Amino acid sequence: MTGQAKTTPVEALRAEAGVCSYKTVSNRLCVKAYEKAARLPADHPKNLAFYSSNQHRLQRSSWREQATLKK
């Protein structure tokens, strides 16, 4: 995409191409979902998930946990 050598540092390639890392994109989406859930009506399922502290069935973090780590 950028025409650089394979040994070029990844961050330099991302800066030149104007592309964010997957982690940055993921963090942005988590924060966006967190903010959207906070602004939804109280009876909306996403708002209920936002304010509840349920134990997750899967052993992975949720958008709520990811977004609260960033604050």
Please write the tens of the pLDDT for every residue from 39-59. 889 888 888 877 776 666 767
**28 half-sphere exposure, CB direction, 13 A CA radius:** 6
Please write the tens of the pLDDT for every residue from 17-41. 888 888 888 888 888 888 888 888 9
Q: Which residues does 23 contact at the CB level (< 8 Å), separation at least 6?
A: none
pTM of the model: 0.58
Measured at the CA of 67, the angle between CA 63 and CA 71, to 5 degrees, comes to 170
Say yes or no to pLDDT of 71 above 60.
no
Q: Which two tokens stand for residue 23?
A: 């982690």
